[in-house]
Structure 1
């Protein structure tokens, strides 16, 4: 009777599983159990003085956390913004001093038309395809350092 080795098959299955995970969740950067997924930045034009960064935060811990700041050398000031509709129905950007809460086991999406990291006073143009440094500061997870791809052609996703 001939024995068939399952080791090569197991390795192939692990590789397929790893590739499937990458396609399902996209590029991801972790610090402990806080994950940053699908990060990108954009500017409104090549001469823009402002830009924004967007991503999904996944809190895989049992503890609530909060994104409290962002840092980068591409802009003079980075602020955590959201949109608020005033009494006249006009959307205004609002700086959130307290940051964004990410509950234990939950996701929080920073996306166009909603919460985002505002890059104010750009030091250089955000060129499509380039990567920019971005450091996210959390109350509990500490700092997560990212390289964010500039994608000025990306369309807003309707759902995450």
Structure 2
């Protein structure tokens, strides 16, 4: 009985992980569209990199850019690099930042990697990976059925 419950739990967790990119890509797209329609663009320069450390036993450090507008407003990038030198290579770049009118946590750096990369990856997973996986499963089932029929 416990093995059955454990098996169903592991299966359910696997399905949730497998299907997670669908709501993530929808959330990313809605977030980006709402920000593009409501935010005010401003010019900024990437002046430094901030250090981000994930907590836990397997703590890893990643680095993200910080853009500073003419008014002195700092906007942290969402996409972080695993190597500091990759982040430092963007220092001095002039970028556009999108400033949300009411929530400063929604300010975004408007570059490809900071704004479009993660939504694009999640959407491509949904559009490419899932149909290919489905076709591979159908092909495997057809081959299995053909082998079973040839044995009879």
Higher relative contact order (CA 8 A, sep 6+): 1
Structure (1/2) with the larger helix percentage:
2
State the TM-score, normalizing by the size of structure 2: 0.28
Of structures 1 and 2, the larger Rg is shown by 2
State the TM-score, normalizing by the size of structure 1: 0.27
